[in-house]
Amino acid sequence: GVQTCALPITALASFIVEEAQRIADEDAAANRAIGKHGARLINDGDAILTHCNAGELATVEYGTALGVIREAWRQGKHIKVYADETRPLLQGARLTVYELKRDGIPVTLITDNMAGYVMHMKMINKVIVGADRIVRDAVINKIGTFTVAVLAKEHKIPFYVAAATSTFD
C-alpha cells in the first residue's frame, strides 16, 4: 500500500533543510578542527605533495587536506604545494590548483608519474591527502594515492591522511 507522511509537506521540507544545514555546519567545524590540528605537523618552509582534491570544492568550506594547508598558510608558514593532476578526472589539476591559486598559496601542478621524481630530488618533505573512506585496514582515496604512499615510504617522507570521523567505517 501507499504510505502517507504524518507531517505536512512544508514541515517535512523545513525539517530536511534544517537537517542538511546541521550536517553542513558539522562538516565545516570538523574541517576547521582538522586544519588547526594538522597545521601543527607543517613546518615553515615545507614542500607538501597532495593528491586529488580535499578542499572546499570536495567538502564544506575549508577542506580536509587543503584545510591543513590553508591553516598552515594562515598561520604565516611559508609553504609550497605540489599538486598531482590526479587521473583520470584531473581533480588535482582542475580543483586543487584552482583553490590554492585563488587563495594565494604557492602551488605547482605535476603529472601523477612525477611524484617519485620530485621525492627523489628532495623537492617534497611532507605528503598530505584526504580520504573517501577509511576502514580497519585501508585508506580508500583516488587512484594513485597508494602509489604516492609507497613512494613516500621509500623516500622516508611523512605521509598524512586528513579526514573527518564521518569518513571512518
103 is catalytic: no
Q: Considering 25, 44, 103, 132, which one is annotated as catalytic?
A: 132
CB 96 within 8 A of CB 66: yes
| Catalytic residue numbers, as ranges | 132
